[in-house]
């Protein structure tokens, strides 16, 4: 299968997911996929989900060939091969605009610490912003480990000179709706699950969390006049085998 992405938009991920999903549904014997990117984007929310799917495909035995145009920034962002703490510890010195892959609390700590150190050195933020960022990212990355049933999570962050921080966190897990199964909450749609998850003290299991991670993240983003996108996917490739 061949996929060509000429320009990144807010719909690029859904297009990519739909194309891959349709291909897997039609021809389960074709294990080769060629992807060509002719555009680059500074926004993690466009890049990271695609990096996560590419990594899932590779981990499940697919042969994925990724091509970029000459001198593209995408060559070194981890889109084709996410960075890991184990193999790329030196890259933690400059962690921005890189897709990071993690699977343990120890890796979360090292990645978040590196991002926070970089923010403190490179941009000037109002008092408490970086601390709030650190708490929020720790909570959401931990949610992936605790609730997603995915072996790996992914994070990518950028920061501009005007102190605008953009961060994306992604996983190939069961999704928020499925993570509520077996709890006291009776939810029908992914949208219902997200609306519930961002409420204070909402947790599937109070033994492993207070349920304030997504609620706190929403409050912090709103207080800093930011924007927050919850992107969920419907796909037949997802969850058939754990990464």
Q: Is the pLDDT of residue 85 over 70?
A: yes
Q: What is the pLDDT of residue 52?
A: 94
Q: What is the pLDDT of residue 236?
A: 47
State the pLDDT confidence band at 175, using cuts at 50, 70 and 90.
Answer: confident
Average pLDDT value for residue range 125-149: 83
Q: How far apart are CA 170 and CA 240, in angstroms?
A: 18
Long-range contacts of 225-234 (CB under 8 A, 24+ apart): 229/45, 230/176, 230/194, 231/13, 231/45, 231/49, 232/175, 232/176, 232/177, 232/190, 232/194, 233/14, 233/17, 233/49, 233/175
pLDDT in tens, 184-198: 767 777 767 666 766
What are the residue ranges of helices labelled H in the chain? 12-26, 44-59, 105-122, 129-147, 175-179, 190-197, 213-223
Average pLDDT value for residue range 68-97: 91
The residue among 212 and 14 whose pLDDT is bigger is 14
Q: Dihedral of CA 17/20/25/26: which sign?
A: positive
Average pLDDT of the chain, as a whole number: 81
- Of 12-16, 78-82, 224-228, give the range with the top mean pLDDT: 78-82
Q: How far apart are CA 219 and CA 136, in angstroms?
A: 10
Q: What is the pLDDT of residue 136?
A: 84
Q: Is the pLDDT of residue 51 over 90?
A: yes
Average pLDDT value for residue range 144-168: 85
Tokens at residue 68, please? 């970029």
pTM for the whole thing?
A: 0.83
């Amino acid at each position: 299968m061949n996929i060509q992405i000429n320009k990144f938009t807010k719909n690029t991920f859904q297009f990519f997911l739909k194309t891959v999903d349709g291909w897997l549904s039609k021809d389960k014997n074709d294990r080769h996929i060629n992807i060509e990117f002719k555009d680059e984007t500074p926004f993690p929310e466009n890049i990271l989900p695609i990096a996560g799917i590419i990594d899932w495909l590779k981990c499940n035995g697919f042969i994925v060939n990724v091509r970029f145009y000459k001198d593209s920034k995408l060559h070194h962002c981890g889109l084709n091969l996410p960075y890991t703490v184990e193999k790329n510890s030196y890259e933690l010195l400059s962690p921005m605009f890189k897709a990071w892959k993690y699977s343990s609390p120890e890796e979360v700590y090292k990645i978040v610490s590196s991002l926070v150190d970089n923010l403190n050195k490179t941009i000037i933020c109002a008092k408490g912003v970086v601390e709030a960022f650190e708490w929020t990212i720790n909570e959401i990355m931990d949610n992936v480990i605790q609730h997603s049933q995915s072996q790996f999570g992914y994070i990518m962050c950028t920061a501009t000179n005007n102190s605008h921080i953009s961060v994306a966190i992604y996983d190939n897990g069961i999704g928020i709706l499925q993570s509520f199964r077996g709890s006291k909450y009776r939810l029908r749609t992914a949208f219902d699950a997200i609306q519930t998850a961002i409420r204070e003290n909402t947790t599937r299991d109070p033994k492993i969390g207070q349920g304030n991670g997504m609620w706190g993240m929403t409050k912090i983003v709103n207080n800093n006049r930011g924007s927050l996108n919850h992107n969920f996917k419907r796909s037949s490739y997802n969850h058939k085998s754990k990464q």
